[in-house]
Amino acid sequence: MEFERLLHGGDYNPEQWMDCPEVLKEDIALMKEAHVNCVTLGVFSWAVLEPEEGEYRLEWLEGMIDRLYRNGIRTVLATPSGAMPHWLTNKYPETMQVRADGGRNLPGRRHNFCYTSGKMREKIREMDRKLAEMASRQPGVLMWHISNEMGGNFSDSACHCQECQRAFRQWLKERYGTLEALNKAWWTVFWSHVYTDWEQIHSPVPHGETTLHGLNLDWHRFVTHQMTDFLQWEIASVREYSDLPATTNFMFFFRTLDYYKLQEGLDVVSWDSYPFWHKERDEVPVAVKTAAYHSMMRSLKKAPFLLMESTPSCINWRENNPLKHPGMHMLSSMQAVAHGSNSVQYFQWRKGRGSAEKFHGAVLDHRNGENTRTFRDVAEVGKRLETLDSLIRQSCNRPRAAMVFDWENWWAAEDATGPRLDMDYQREFLRHYRAFWEAGVDVDMINMDGELEGYDMVSAPLNYLYKEGYAEKVERYVAAGGIYITTYWSGIVDETDLCFIGEHPLRKVLGIRQEEIDAPGADFRNCVKYRDVAYETGGICEVVHEETAEVLARYEKEYYKGKPVLTVNRFGNGKAYYLAAEPEQKLLNAFYGECMEQAGIGNPFMTKLPYGVTAAERKGETDLIFLQNFREEPVAAEVKGSYVEADTGKAWQEEILLKAFECKVLIRKQG
């Protein structure tokens, strides 16, 4: 999906200021000064667009779109289903979600509609059609922003109403055909939970069924299916009048919804990034996590994504909310671009005077107009994006390494009730990802349905569940020369969460036999020696036996002393590595470093980068290298080759000096 320029702007709520024309006038003047070329309108405007059922008031919005356009600012137009007006919830209470405890929500808040509700769908379709009809007359409208942060209200985020229960049963009927097949897949004989009628099936809830892992897993799948269906419904509604591209704003690794599925009907992926910068002095853990989220958003379509929201200064919903220190706004914005974003957008343009977000950071504060550090930081980002516009838009990241991140595996691995109750897939995944980040190497993320071909190296930590055909795919990949890395607690269950019996599905490829798994606790440490350096492993130690694999490191303590911790097996033209324990970060870094070397993968500078410094590369006719310093102090990075700064033409070789929180965009000089 290509836009005519990199987008810079953000959420704009003129409907909160309709009685202050001088504010609206000032907004446009200051947007131009801040190099804003695009705003998002209408995200929560339903009550203003349709104050009473069937009474539409779109003139103000149309006027605003037109006025912005005449001033060079395009509109990302949102559909307003993210928050419901009172007339809707009062008259049609079935549009509101039912929580897991069975109670229906009261009106208020947001992101809490029932996505199955026929009435909700009917009402939002009527609204969306009106919007689309209007948008078809307005050249200022650039794209659709469907709803907002779908599912983002409650930790469970699912609706448990009767309409949803019926839809769930129907979905199960289509999946399994017969109750007999379902009972078998869910292992319902356990505790006598055999279903004899479809009507007996209910979503998993704390005061009801939670022990059937197959049910839990299918419920997660259903929630994604149903939300995707709602999203498609909205897209179809605007499509009747408009063929503009559509997106919806995702959030981090949002456990409730499988983004690989949700993204299917979108033209472009976008997301809202709110990292906890300055949480600690060491920014690396937050930088790693944020880089992973950006890379995921790019990987979903293997194409540039949009940073739809970020804060220009602080947020207001964590216990403490640090302001971005000098340099961090530019760095965090460029980090998104480095990993594939073609925009930097904010929540919000102007702080409202009242309600829950009046102290959330914004480009414009309640006072001081453009005379603030935040405003200047934002303008600087806008200007830089203008300078680099065509260079950035002709490029996208094309990593040679991939990591398997799979939502279905996530749900199953953490629901497993063993070997530890606090299995944390995301945390373990990020520790492995961090080894790439620290090396300055970008990776793609794929799920188990993704293609492995084309990557020189694939890592799949904590890959508990194997989807059908996955093991065969890995086998072909390794046989053809790929490097595959996996860990303890992998290849344990099939797609319905039933344990594999007999062999590990990748036994031949990995060349090991898994036997048992020790989880002595988070504080437990074992010792291993890898390449003559001593390291520690954490609270999970799997006991495996080498068959055809070569052992690279062994446990040095406990009754499984001498058993393998790290193995490599040559299989066909490739190699498969197995990590039986949860090693400390340093061991992961050393181990991945070696694998990358074998795969011929390295950062663009071909050197070891200092701690806190990383790189990401966007390939194109001109390759762009983003060298980022996440330390609040200057640092020198040793490099091989010669480089020029894309913004200024300044030349560097041997060593590049980075200021505190600086991101340089570099082009390698030939020869």
> What is the rounded (10 degree) CA torsion for 649, 650, 653, 654?
-140
> Token pair of 438, please?
């620290």
> Token pair of 248, please?
């919806």
**Look-up of token digits 């069975």:** 102
Q: Which is nearer to ligand GAL, 361 or 538 (CB)?
A: 361
Pairing, β 550-554 against β 483-487? unpaired
Q: Which is nearer to ligand GAL, 272 or 442 (CB)?
A: 272
Q: Which is nearer to ligand GAL, 309 or 518 (CB)?
A: 309
- Taking the complex as a whole, the smallest distance from the CB of residue 356 to ligand GAL amounts, in Å, to 8
Query: Do residues 414 and 31 make contact, with C-beta atoms less than 8 angstroms apart?
Result: no
**Cα angle 59, 41, 68; round to 5:** 70
- Taking the complex as a whole, the smallest distance from the CB of residue 620 to ligand GAL amounts, in Å, to 31
Minimal CA–CA distance to 370: which of 18, 28, 17? 28
Task: Report in angstroms the alpha-carbon separations of 214 from 131, 326, 462, 503, 660.
Answer: 41, 50, 19, 21, 50
Q: Which is nearer to ligand GAL, 360 or 554 (CB)?
A: 360
Beta-carbon contacts of residue 97 (< 8 Å; ≥ 6 apart): 104, 105, 112, 113, 114, 153, 154, 159, 160, 161
Query: Do residues 181 and 172 make contact, with C-beta atoms less than 8 angstroms apart?
Result: no
CA 16 to chain centre: 31
Query: Hey, is 43 helix, strand or coil?
Result: coil
- Taking the complex as a whole, the smallest distance from the CB of residue 48 to ligand GAL amounts, in Å, to 16
- Taking the complex as a whole, the smallest distance from the CB of residue 347 to ligand GAL amounts, in Å, to 4
- Taking the complex as a whole, the smallest distance from the CB of residue 222 to ligand GAL amounts, in Å, to 24
Q: Which is nearer to ligand GAL, 83 or 544 (CB)?
A: 83
Concatenating the DSSP letter of every residue in 583-616 gives: E-HHHHHHHHHHHHHHHT---TT-SPPPTTEEEE
Residue 149 designated active-site: yes
- Taking the complex as a whole, the smallest distance from the CB of residue 351 to ligand GAL amounts, in Å, to 11
> Token pair of 86, please?
């009172």
SS3 content of the chain, % helix, strand, coil (to 5): 35, 25, 45
- Say if residue 419 is preceded by a cis peptide, omega within 30 of 0: yes
Residue 2 designated active-site: no
Beta-carbon contacts of residue 14 (< 8 Å; ≥ 6 apart): 24, 27, 41, 60, 64
- Taking the complex as a whole, the smallest distance from the CB of residue 645 to ligand GAL amounts, in Å, to 33
- Taking the complex as a whole, the smallest distance from the CB of residue 149 to ligand GAL amounts, in Å, to 5
Query: Hey, is 298 helix, strand or coil?
Result: helix
Site residues (CB under 6 A) for ligand GAL?
148-149, 272, 274, 309, 315, 347, 357, 360
Find the helix packing angle between 59-70 and 118-135, rounded to 10°: 40
Minimal CA–CA distance to 555: which of 593, 524, 596? 524
How many CB atoms lie under 10 A from the CB of residue 94?
Answer: 16
Residue 111 DSSP symbol: S
- Taking the complex as a whole, the smallest distance from the CB of residue 360 to ligand GAL amounts, in Å, to 5
Beta-carbon contacts of residue 426 (< 8 Å; ≥ 6 apart): 253, 255, 410
Sheet containing 270-272: order of strands? 249-251, 270-272, 306-309
Query: Do residues 53 and 87 make contact, with C-beta atoms less than 8 angstroms apart?
Result: yes
Looking at 234, 283, 309, 495, which residue is catalytic? 309
Q: Which is nearer to ligand GAL, 377 or 582 (CB)?
A: 377
- Taking the complex as a whole, the smallest distance from the CB of residue 76 to ligand GAL amounts, in Å, to 13
Distance CA 352, CA 616 (A): 37
Q: Which is nearer to ligand GAL, 123 or 360 (CB)?
A: 360
CA 268 to chain centre: 14
Q: Which is nearer to ligand GAL, 284 or 315 (CB)?
A: 315
Q: Which helix (H) or strand (E) holds 403?
A: strand 401-404
- Taking the complex as a whole, the smallest distance from the CB of residue 110 to ligand GAL amounts, in Å, to 8
Beta-carbon contacts of residue 398 (< 8 Å; ≥ 6 apart): 619
- Say if residue 348 is preceded by a cis peptide, omega within 30 of 0: yes
- Taking the complex as a whole, the smallest distance from the CB of residue 377 to ligand GAL amounts, in Å, to 17
Within 92-202, residue ranges assigned H as helices are 118-135, 162-176, 179-186
Q: Which is nearer to ligand GAL, 187 or 271 (CB)?
A: 271
Distance CA 552, CA 222 (A): 42
Q: Which is nearer to ligand GAL, 315 or 590 (CB)?
A: 315
Beta partners for 52? 55
Q: Which is nearer to ligand GAL, 374 or 537 (CB)?
A: 374
> Residue with the closest Cβ to ligand GAL?
347
Looking at 149, 234, 582, 662, which residue is catalytic? 149
Q: Which is nearer to ligand GAL, 305 or 530 (CB)?
A: 305
- Quote the strand ranges of 462-563, DSSP E: 483-487, 512-518, 526-530, 533-546, 550-554
Catalytically active residues are 149, 309
